[in-house]
Structure 1
Amino acid sequence: MPVRRLNHAVLRVTDVARASRFWQEALGMEVVSEVPGASFLRLPASGNHHDLGLFRGRGEPPLPGGIGLYHLAFEVADFDDLVDARSRLAEMGALTGESDHDASLSIYAADPDRIEFEVLWPVPSEHWGSQEGVVRPLDWVAAKQRWSARG
């Protein structure tokens, strides 16, 4: 039986309420359900019951680069949405990096428990180069000139 797609992710966090507020502010997620020790959130354009579950965990957050989940990746519809996400995450103090991967333009951030995530815009495939595994600095000036609908 083939798997169609990843339906949702569940994270263990130190403070469910704080994490829920973070994801609402960072990506505009909506709370679908809350129970003691857990919160379930959905992205506004999603058809899922929930896209992210938050459960109260025990202990300290993992060390950066340690064993476990590396990051979650969220896709936006267009380049200007990526620009908006970058601004919002920078204002929140959550932005940790940005990269041009040739096939996508990406920003990286971390939640209050240092769980990393990516927000990406997939570059149309006819514009992909021939390199694989590209990671280079994202040139925002050039990218805005090429991809922004805002001019």
Structure 2
Amino acid sequence: MTTQPNPENADALPRGTRIGRTALRVADLDEMTGFYRDVVGLSVLSTSDTTAVLGVADTSLLVLEEAEDALKRHRSGTGLYHNAFRVPSREALGDALGRIRDHWQLGGASDHLVSEALYLTDPEGNGVEIYRDFPRDEWSIDDNGTIRIGSDRLDLDRIEAAGSGGNRAPPGTDVGHVHLEVSSLDAFKDFYVDTLGFEVQATWPNAHFVSAGGYHHHIGANTWHHRTTPSDGRGLSWFEVVVPDPEVLDAVRERFVAGEIPVTEMDDGIVVTDPDGIEIRLRVESAT
């Protein structure tokens, strides 16, 4: 069973909406590039003195921006809880587990009932999830219509056995979701649900999971560490929300303007900032 957008919510983002690239401000560009290449398995698509773009095939997924103020210490403000790289198969997840065990340290693993997930932390303290989804028709829906997301023990032996020794994330890998640390779940919901147009799919204690098109979540948000100050420049720089057509982008722009939320126009879309100072870039799927 799968969920569908609420037909009574005309402002809901449609199926086909997805997360695009994410960007991190980093202190050591070489070290961070090596981590996302050798452990996560992304390919280096381009580099400059201060940036590196990584992804799969010709698709960029992660931008690393070297910045002097990106100190190697845990931030105090809101921002990234983890970037979640979604792989297309258990085999690919097993390969990721092998790379983590060969080059890094696994921080955790969970069977979420909708997905199988591995967790780790990059060299500068940013959370990373690598996961694969179960088929949608295997997801469980609670009586109130929300998706049941659990946190059960993951059988790592089964995951490891599925791997084939691959050293790169395969085609079809993308950024399935981003999970944020926010100062207020009410403010998060006002911005991401009531204005931007995501729908709440599941809730945990002090956490919301929202999505478009009935996905289990494109964005997670929690207040587990009680962050109270705005995003302070370290870690997450920005992330993209990609919508399927220009009409959707126009409608979102109108809602931001009506809500008196400043909108900056870009060549391929718009930029807004959420209540915690996190930058979101919105563009249309066909834009490059």
Whether these two folds match at TM > 0.5 is: yes
Instruction: Go from structure 1 to structure 2 and tell me whether the alpha carbon gap of 1:13 and 1:59 turns closer, same or farther (over 3 Å shift).
Output: closer
For the residue of structure 2 that corresponds to 1:60, the secondary structure is coil
Check if 1:54 corresponds to 2:64: yes
Q: Which of 12, 19, 32 is the aligned partner of 1:19?
A: 32
Check if 1:122 corresponds to 2:133: yes
CA distance in 2, matches of 1:140, 1:39: 32
CA distance in 1, matches of 2:43, 2:155: 32
Check if 1:135 corresponds to 2:151: yes
Matches within 5 A, 1:1-151: 4-44=17-57, 47-48=58-59, 50-57=60-67, 58-61=69-72, 63=74, 67-130=78-141, 132-141=148-157, 143=158, 148=162
For the residue of structure 1 that corresponds to 2:124, the secondary structure is coil
Indicate the structure (1 or 2) with the bigger Cα radius of gyration: 2
Letter of the aligned partner of 1:53 in structure 2?
Answer: V
Letter of the aligned partner of 1:90 in structure 2?
Answer: R
TM-score, normalization by structure 2: 0.45
How many residue pairs match? The answer is 144
Superposition deviation, residue 28 in structure 1? 2.6
Higher relative contact order, structure no. (Cα contacts within 8 Å, ≥ 6 residues apart)? 2
Letter of the aligned partner of 2:42 in structure 1?
Answer: M
Letter of the aligned partner of 1:17 in structure 2?
Answer: D
Runs (5+) with no aligned partner, structure 1: none
Contact 1:99-1:107 within 8 A present in 2 as well? yes
Superposition deviation, residue 140 in structure 1? 3.3
Instruction: Go from structure 1 to structure 2 and tell me whether the alpha carbon gap of 1:105 and 1:35 turns closer, same or farther (over 3 Å shift).
Output: same
CA distance in 1, matches of 2:141, 2:76: 29
Runs (5+) with no aligned partner, structure 2: 1-10, 143-147, 165-288
Letter of the aligned partner of 1:56 in structure 2?
Answer: E
Contact 1:76-1:119 within 8 A present in 2 as well? yes
Q: Which runs of 4+ in 1 moved over 4 A?
A: 147-150
Identity across the alignment (%) = 26
Larger mean CA deviation between 4-13 and 121-130 belongs to 121-130
Q: Quick check: which one's strand share is greater?
A: 2
